[in-house]
Chains A and B, each alone.
Chain A
């Protein structure tokens, strides 16, 4: 049996084990832990998509927050019950037919994803024409435009009042299922010729063009695919939070995605997963710092926001000293693990 086949079997087995674990966790873990796990899954989706655009294609976009908003709002609008909507839209009645729509989760998510992909396409048209730092500002500006638009579309999004009472469809299975699908698709894409084209664009746009790669088209492909999955992440997010307003999707959310990716290692999907896990867990673990901490007889008064200060410091330390993040550009592979454990012998070259 070749190493390749063994790897595939191991992946399949771990997937099955994981699904069983999720089913068990859904029944047995307390809601707090479940919520953390769901948040990790959502952050994984966002991180992997950011990685596709930045780590693999070299385009630094700060527009994530805006695209997440599209996914979130569309999903929320499509899944909320008409009665809820009427309650929410007391300032101005919601536009018909949106006010009467109540869809189930999957069609709503997919529609949201498709719409987000479309918005991503629109965002990409101007921003992908610019290099690194300019693209950052343009995407930031466009995400802000989306936020301001959301705040003003009173009859569609309820403006700055936001939406309350979004059905909590997001479960462990949904969120991690989506995360696994996202990872699988993007990992496969990245290993394909398209992945090489993306990396060529990242490494040397001029040479990539000279080798026949349609640079703008490929940047757009990466961006739109990323937007699709971002939309799914956004929809999951809305149905987790059950309350959203335009200011949730502020540039700080884009910064959060960057933090997750930088922590885990730009250019590594494994790193994205680890980064998300570390970020969300650390965020929760540090929650006590925001409040008073009793140590023995002494109580250190907490300060709300101290958490974020520590995060900012960690972020800066990583970018200044450990620029490669946790994983650098390496990926997890069964080959690596089994070789490390001494079960397999090291073989030269790549298995294929």
Chain B
């Protein structure tokens, strides 16, 4: 394999990884605060894509408007889900919230099937992203570059938010010890809503870029994508935002590179993520950048 091909694959891997990272952040933040694997997160990604789709196809909105509205809608959806399906179970045994998340996931998927139809729809790709560039013989898709750039910007912004602002400190405090944070006067409910809103917003942006990259959208598209992104979060260190970023990139680059180097394994590529999960859980269960999450014995 020559250098240009390798760089092309790398670029692809990074853009895919960036998408995974954006979605993984949602999982990791929610897990950090509530110790909940938000099974519905992947389906929120799906809803974002459909929101944008209908915005353009049905309401004939210009795509920037449709995208923006889709993101806003998804943010509210995420916050609404927390309010309705998770908050009432805050004092229940942890597994009940998990089951509730499964229920929400099922509901979103089935509503999507009924409302949007089970057949895949073609997601519109705005013409500005169809261009191709060539840099030293390596062909880059405009979209790929856009994705990488957007991800970088967002990830840096998230980093700043979480580590350099008062709000971020509050989020980290709640994630460390919810009760203690509440006793310190932090409005825990607000922080949790914010976390869900942020996670959903990032996931929505990731969803839109995903849908432009892989223009077929399906009601069940969020499930495997969500599972992969959760695995990315675990690999990078669940509860850690930089970890989610790292995990996403590892997963994205890894997936592309494996198929690039071993094309015979293409149909087994789904196994890459799952196998990575098992491996990391055994070698380093807290993930690459994770810290020991104290279990109240």
Asked if the two chains touch in their complex, CB atoms less than 8 Å apart, one says: yes
Q: For B92, what are the chain A residues with a Cβ–Cβ distance below 8 Å?
A: 323
Q: Which of B88, B107, B223, B268 sits near A251, CB closer than 8 Å?
A: B223
Q: Is A18 an interface residue (CB 8 A)?
A: no
Return the CB mask of A174-211 against B: 1 if under 8 Å, else 0.
00000000000000000000000000000000100000
Q: Does B295 contact A (CB under 8 A)?
A: yes
Q: Which of B37, B89, B95, B234 has the most CB of A within 10 A?
A: B95
Indicate whether B103 reaches chain A with its CB closer than 8 angstroms: yes
A102 to B283, CA, bound (A): 44
Give the chain B neighbours of A138 by CB distance below 8 A: 277-278, 281
Given A131-B295, A151-B267, A262-B99; A320-B88 close (CB under 8 Å) = yes
Max chain A C-beta neighbours (<10 A), residue from B106, B107, B223: B106
Q: Is the CB–CB distance between B295 and A309 below 8 Å?
A: no
User: Counting CB contacts under 8 A, is A26 at the interface?
Assistant: no
The stretch from A139-147, A221-229, A267-275, A328-336 touching chain B is: A139-147
Select from chain A the residue with minimum beta-carbon distance to B92: A323
Partner of A142, one of B104, B114, B274: B274
Chain A proximity of B26: nearest CB distance (Å): 15
Which residue of A60, A140, A144 is within 8 Å of B270 (Cβ)?
A: A144
Stretch at the interface among A7-15, A105-113, A298-306: A298-306
Contact yes or no, A133 B274, CB < 8 A: no
Closest residue on chain A to residue B102 by CB atoms: A255
**Chain B positions 103-123 with a Cβ under 8 Å from a chain A Cβ:** 103-104, 106-107, 110-111, 113-114, 118
Per-position 1/0 for B78-108, Cβ under 8 A of A: 0000000100110010111011101110110
Quick one: CB contact mask for B268-282 with A, threshold 8 Å, 1 for yes? 101100110110011
A187 to B185, CA, bound (A): 50
The reply to whether A319 and B107 form a contact with Cβ atoms under 8 Å apart is: no
Are B114 and A303 in touch, CB under 8 angstroms?
A: yes
Contact, CB under 8 Å: B281 / A206 = no
Interface residues of B in 194-242 (CB under 8 A from A): 223, 227, 230-231, 234
Known A137-B230, A144-B270, A323-B96; contact A316-B110, beta-carbon cutoff 8 A: no
Q: Given A136-B37, A141-B231, check contact A316 B98 (CB 8 Å).
A: no
CB neighbours (8 Å) of A60 from chain B are 95, 98
Contact B94 A132 (CB under 8 A): yes
- Residues on the A chain within 8 Å of B100, using CB: 316, 319-320
Does B297 sit within 8 A of A, measured CB to CB?
A: yes
Also in contact, A305 and B94, with CB within 8 A (given A126-B282, A130-B281, A131-B295): no
- Per a CB cutoff under 8 Å, which of B89, B96, B102, B114 touches A306? B114
User: What is B's interface to A at a CB cutoff of 8 Å?
Assistant: 35-37, 85, 88-89, 92, 94-96, 98-100, 102-104, 106-107, 110-111, 113-114, 118, 223, 227, 230-231, 234, 267-268, 270-271, 274-275, 277-278, 281-282, 285, 295, 297
Interchain Cβ contacts under 8 Å between A and B, 6 examples: A133-B94, A137-B234, A148-B271, A151-B267, A315-B103, A323-B92
